Amino acid sequence: MLNSSDADSRPPHDELFRELWVSLASLLKSYTSLHGLAGNRTAIIEQDEERILVRHGDKRLGLKRSCSSVVWEREDGRSGTLEWMESGRLRSNAGEEEMDLAAETWARELMQ
């Protein structure tokens, strides 16, 4: 349990971004399961408050969170930075995307 000084030292809106993080992990679990159903395949998902790691065979997606910033990295070295908006959308240089659409895209790529 947090005391009031712990809560006061957090950046504004950190609670919101932690909740979005948990939701993102849940979406990745659901979508990887869905994409693996036909081939009886499963992904391994590890999660804590700052990291999510999704693995399937040689494919890997690593996500690292710091407040509203999310850094992603794939097994081939591709990487990028996203920023959560208070609306729950993820923003990149290419624009904004709904969190569930980003999770579904990642899951589809991982489970192919």
Q: What is the pLDDT along the chain (112 residues), one digit of tens a residue?
A: 444 444 455 556 789 999 999 999 999 999 999 999 988 899 999 999 999 999 999 999 999 999 999 999 999 999 999 999 999 999 999 999 999 999 999 999 999 9
Q: Is residue 7 part of a domain?
A: no
Full-model pTM: 0.87
- 4, 2, 29, 19: which is closest to 110 by C-alpha? 29
- List the beta bridge partners of residue 62: 53, 73
Q: Where are the beta strands (DSSP E) in 40-78?
A: 44-47, 51-56, 59-66, 69-74
Q: Is residue 3 part of a domain?
A: no
Q: Is residue 6 part of a domain?
A: no
Q: Is residue 1 part of a domain?
A: no
Q: Is residue 83 part of a domain?
A: yes
Residue range(s) defining the domain that contains residue 78: 12-111
